[in-house]
Amino acid sequence: MPFKVLLLDNVDPICADIFKQRGIQADQPEKISREELKKTIGSYDAIVVRSATNVDEDLLEFSNGLRIIGRAGVGVDNIDINAATTKGVLVMNTPDGNTISTAEHTCGMIIALARNIPQSVERVKGGGWDRKKFMGTEVHGKILGIVGLGKIGKEVALRMKEFGMEIMAYDPFTTQEQAGNIGVKLVELDELLASSDFLTVHTPLTERTKDMVSLKNAEKLKPGVRLVNCARGGIYNEEDLVPLIENGVVAGAALDVYTNEPPNPELYEILNHPSIICTPHLGASTEEAQEKVAVQIAQQISDALENKNYKGSLNSKSISLLTNEEVQPYIALAEKLGRVSGQIMPSNASNFAFEYTGLCIKYSDVLTDAVLKGMLSQYVDESVNLINARHYALERGYKLSETSKSDDKNYNDLITIRLGDSSDYKQISAAVFGPGDYRIVEIDGFGIELRLEGDILMYQNIDRPGMLASVAGTLASQNINIGALSLGREGKGTNAITAVIVDKKLNQDELQSIHNLDGVQNVKYISLS
């Protein structure tokens, strides 16, 4: 019997043509209900979706027989990858198909925002003229700030340079060398916000990027900045846009993405402001992009069904390791350690060394992939996984080295990461203590025992009486409870490192209160929740 594939969400018809050329039956119903899909999904070898179909755990309960889920596009927010992995279902996407389309749309939004094009079009079509009202600004000679210098961010930079813009970017996971190669100056986020005449974001929505622009940080923005968002809704606080415009902080905003899609009535009222232009998530909506991703996903699924190639796979390595109980705890440890490293390493670091001891040596290759996945997944605007993490790291200019050590005096199986001499915390080691029990055991030579969970406050201090009391008192005054703590020191009256697990996420003001304490330095906040 030939393989059978179900095509959903109005994927481009060329997808069916490619499957048929490969001898695969492709069914493309015009409309299918959720209940009908539950009844039929198990009879297909693969399904192709865009963003409309939610492939969640509930649907996957009916997927016995399904082998592959293909996403004709980049984002996989509508696919429960963990549930699919547990079911042994391969998940694929097409990470490159929408890059040019989204970059071009971003550039179009920048020009439209600068020259008031949508508003003036509406005025002329309504029988008006009012040339003075629609006076614009040139982009030539202006500073374009880019948050996230991945594939799309780079393409935007290259195009807007040709318009004569000066390009600055914030991306802590890209090296200075890589940015310099395309003529981009890397800076810290606060400098970017203070310098940018136009600001565009190309990063996922995370705790770190949510409300990156809001009334709360209005003083950080260059007055008159113009905002563009073709990435994720919520990076700019939508409710704050009108007050920011009315206060003169923001000159205008161009949005293609929203916290809720389609927007709710309250948001529609905000979008009606004359200084806000908006499009209905058109970043990837070009004929070329939709055809490209349809062709790519059909070829990828066909190759996978025929066991020829697994390009674009997001969880194939995870599936192969799912039955290997020996390595699973160390993969979890490595990814958690990577998440910690990504939050404490210096911006734009380029050299990382990984050392493995004991059983970890046997799986060093995949453990490095897991560390890099943890590092990158918090900020990179792609679906980072065990398969592609190393590729994204090398693409950003990382230099990686891996070594092994026959034994450690205290721990049999150990993972150590060296973050470079410029880091406040240069070396971290971690080990597995038991099922679900992962701990940091050493930082920069200080013996410390810290469970990798929850929200962690870490700092260095002089080892003198009252230091811990000062920190604990400051936290208590803000109603922040300490769940656990660990400290390491060189000796009495010397240097120490302290880590505190707190019961809530800390905001910038709460962190600053710790920074302000005498004797406390290099404060880091790590969220693993």
- Show which residues are catalytic: 232, 261, 281
Residue bearing tokens 């490293």:
341
Is the Cβ–Cβ distance between 278 and 271 less than 8 Å?
Answer: yes
The tokens describing 21, both together, are: 């050329």
The tokens describing 159, both together, are: 């195009």
Beta strands in 224-286 (DSSP E): 225-229, 250-255, 276-278
Cα(445)–Cα(489) distance, rounded to whole angstroms?
9
Kindly calculate the radius of gyration of the chain based on its CA atoms and give it in whole angstroms. 25
Q: In what order do the strands lie in the sheet with 90-93?
A: 25-27, 4-7, 46-49, 68-71, 90-93
The tokens describing 268, both together, are: 């529609």
Helix segments in 328-483, DSSP class H: 328-344, 364-376, 389-395, 467-477
Is the Cβ–Cβ distance between 310 and 303 less than 8 Å?
Answer: yes
Q: Which amino acid is at 247?
A: N
How many other C-beta atoms lie within 10 A of the C-beta of residue 259? 17
Instruction: Please compute, for residue 417, the number of CA atoms within 13 A of its CA located in the half-sphere on the CB side.
Output: 30
Is the Cβ–Cβ distance between 441 and 427 less than 8 Å?
Answer: no
Backbone angles phi, psi at 483, to 5 degrees: -90, -35
- Taking CA atoms, 345 is separated from 73, 309, 363, in Å, by 31, 35, 24
Q: Which amino acid is at 63?
A: S
Residue bearing tokens 């016995």:
64
Q: Residues, the chain, total?
A: 529
What string of DSSP letters covers 7-74? E-TT--THHHHHHHHTT-EEE--S---HHHHHHHGGG-SEEEE-SSS-B-HHHHTT-TT--EEEESSS
Cα(528)–Cα(218) distance, rounded to whole angstroms?
28
Q: Which amino acid is at 97?
A: G
Cis previous bond, 262, omega within 30 = yes
b vs e for 221-244, b when ≥16 Cβ sit within 10 Å of the residue's Cβ? bbeebbbbbbbbbbbbbbebbbeb
Q: Which amino acid is at 461?
A: N
Nearest by Cα to 149 from 474, 482, 396, 437:
396
b vs e for 75-92, b when ≥16 Cβ sit within 10 Å of the residue's Cβ? bbebbbbebbbebebbbb
Cα(71)–Cα(3) distance, rounded to whole angstroms?
18
Is the Cβ–Cβ distance between 103 and 156 less than 8 Å?
Answer: yes
